[in-house]
Structure 1
């Protein structure tokens, strides 16, 4: 099979980018031809056959968007793929329009809708209108959570028959429990870009109320709000407890040496970072948004925190920081849930079967 994957950016480390990378590598290993069309002129994923379209940018720009459509259409016409798989809002629109104009089947993977809860009201309305129109020319849509599927149905964006939930999945990695920190200094970690909808600063504010416990906090990721977080750490005297690791390619090793995983957000689809932490056997503390509840079961493998509820966040972290038994039990449940529902092989098999269905 010949496949084109279209995504707005591959110059950052994010859930959609890692999803595309892993899926493309698996497809190529099984003998399929895969091309990635993306914006800009830089990619962090050298193992992929990448074609750049510099006019494909995230923000709305009529001139650039028209140029991007023409360029992407030209690229796809030359490749003549069996199917086009699109990811992210802008690439989803341009890629599907190009496929429709060339009569090539298209799929859109919604890694969290742009009209989900937490997004500004005017933007939500605009995105719903756009997706309703795009749904008419789309062969099918994959949602990474059941929450996102039902959200699309609720707002009449797409009919049920054009939607399929395929939960994100992550690869198995070697677990190194023996490498974890001694219990007198527990390690917490958050893996996320420093940009909306992530809320690293909210987490830092809560941590100032937990200084009576022995812990260290690791942040993996970069982005526009990083400087603000660093300034806050300086002002609160937390430099000996908080580390900013930047973008890392050894996330599995970092998780395997940690004790608690955190992810605070205003909105989400189904974050790969949570699934990676579950695979490593960590208890999860995350915002109760999007499809997160499909992976994190309250009081089973972690806790769900209402958005912006600092009191509940502090209470939850206190419970985990003071009970090794609770951390161990929840970590074991995380690992079990991962094996049952969120392996990469499960995700790959369902995705490829859906490709075949849409082509047929």
Structure 2
């Protein structure tokens, strides 16, 4: 049987880059050939398959910012490349890759799967922008395309908000390889041995201002230290968050790490008391999955992605409202109850093993690829 040729279209940054590389290094390269089309200014590290072979990739002007002229150029360039490559399937990732990849695939007569990793309309509270983003999603939902959701919550949004029909919704949970034994930190540990942690740039999505207020609320009753990994050097919200930390006199209670290697992320999570997320929305967050894999209880907001991974009272707590006091209560409960923290951590590890270990789940993705290609070859 000949290989299925899949072309991935994306802006390879952040979690989207992690998502793609996880797939590429685990998918069966004897049956599936992967080619990558990505931005001229994103990932510099080559993409490799499970045997370490460098994969074919093409750089095109696929930029995150909305620019009608550049976006049309990206669509046209991708279309021309697809006509040359003649893939069986296009896998379009995230908002911009989703638009460019699906439109180019439609023009080229190639079926496409779309993985939002959190729908773009969730990124704004501006009603006009939100409606425009939803309109674009609805415009592109039909034809030769289907949704490949990263979580049950994302699948539900695809049906209820965007209007994908049931036969056009597939599910493949974000998954990772089990973390290897964490190596020593590559950076000096400048924070106390007892701490909690989170990952993510200060942003509207991560609701970082709420996170800082949660720490202030905990500090009213108990000493605590928070490590925030991956805040970035040029994050637009970073200065606002630093000011809030200063205003609340939390400079000695919060450590901001600009950039953190993947091994360091694993090491910091592993040695923390718990993981916290105050996000407004997610796809299926890798940092929470990593926390499950490392046997950590989590205190998280009740948003898409988080609620798929954490079962309230079982492997952590899910907080419904943006109330710092509610987060603080659960965090203090776990900090002061070792047996509960260990029991919830054990449940986290079980959930990871059963549902999010890519060594066990990758076959599901391969089946989606094969079945979707077969479906459109038969004109359905």
Give the TM-score normalised by structure 1. 0.90
Q: CA deviation at 1:300?
A: 0.6
Cα distance in 2 between the residues matched to 1:339 and 1:83: 30
Moved more, 151-160 or 294-303: 151-160
| Counterpart contact for 1:278–1:331, Cα < 8 Å | yes
Cross-structure match for 2:211: 203
Name the CA distance, whole Å, in 1 between partners of 2:369 and 2:329.
45
**Structure 2 CA distance for partners of 1:274 and 1:138, relative to 1, 3 Å:** farther
Give the Cα–Cα distance (whole angstroms) in 2 for the partners of residues 208 and 137 of structure 1.
50
Matched residue, 1:193: 201
Task: Measure, in 2, the Cα distance between the counterparts of 1:28 and 1:77.
Answer: 25
Aligned twin of 1:5: 8
Match 1:263 to one of 277, 294, 312: 277
- Counterpart CA distance in 1 for 2:284 and 2:9 is 20
Partner of 1:196: helix, strand, or coil?
A: coil
Alignment partners' CA distance in 2, 1:76 and 1:5: 11
Residue 186 of structure 1 aligns to a residue in which SS?
coil
Specify whether residues 274 and 53 from structure 1 end up closer, same or farther in structure 2 by C-alpha distance, changes over 3 A only: same
What's the offset of the Cα at 1:307? 4.2
- Kept in 1, the 8 Å contact 2:124–2:130? The answer is no
Structure-2 residue corresponding to 1:21: 21
Q: Give yes or no for the alignment of 1:244 onto 2:250.
A: no
Structure 2 distance, partners of 1:104, 1:274, is 35
C-alpha spacing 1:263/1:156, structure 2 compared with 1 (3 Å): closer
Contact 2:273/2:335 (8 A) holds in 1: no
What is the aligned counterpart of 1:150 among 143, 156, 180? 156
Stretch moving more, 283-292 or 222-231: 222-231
TM-score (norm 2): 0.85
2:243 to 217, 231, 247: 231
Distance 2:162 2:196 in 1: 40
Aligned residue for 2:372?
A: 358
C-alpha distance in structure 1 between counterparts of 2:30 and 2:251, whole Å: 47
Aligned residue in 2 for 1:52: 59
Deviates more, 1:188-197 or 1:276-285: 188-197
Structure-2 residue corresponding to 1:164: 170
Question: Hey, what's the Cα distance between the residues in 2 that align with 1:148 and 1:173?
Answer: 25
Q: Which runs of 5+ in 2 are unaligned?
A: 49-54, 375-380
2:174 corresponds to 1:173: no
* SS of residue matched to 1:330: helix
Query: Cα distance 1:86–1:156, how it changes in 2: closer, same or farther (>3 A)?
Result: closer
Partner SS, residue 107 of structure 1: strand
- Cα RMSD of the aligned pairs, angstroms, is 2.5
1:326 matched to 2:301: no
Query: Which residue of 338, 355, 376 maps to 1:341?
Result: 355
Q: 1:78 aligns with which of 80, 84, 96?
A: 84
| TM-fit CA distance, 1:29 | 5.1
1:89 CA displacement: 1.2
Structure 1 residues 196 and 156: alpha-carbon distance in aligned structure 2, compared to 1, 3 A threshold: closer
How far apart are the structure 2 equivalents of 1:106 and 1:226?
Answer: 37
Q: 1:272 and 2:272 equivalent?
A: no
Contact residue 185 and residue 216 of structure 1 kept, 8 A? no
SS of 1:2's equivalent?
A: strand
Gaps of at least 5 residues in structure 1 are none
Distance, in Å, in 1 between the alignment partners of 2:277 and 2:30 is: 34
1:323 Cα offset (Å): 1.4
1:100 to 92, 98, 106: 106
Cα deviation, 1:1-55, whole Å, max 9, x if unaligned, reads 3221111x22x322x221111112223755643222122323154334432212x
User: Residues 344 and 41 (structure 1 numbering): CA distance in 2 closer, same or farther, change over 3 Å?
Assistant: same
Change in CA separation of 1:224 and 1:118 when aligned onto 2, cut-off 3 Å: closer
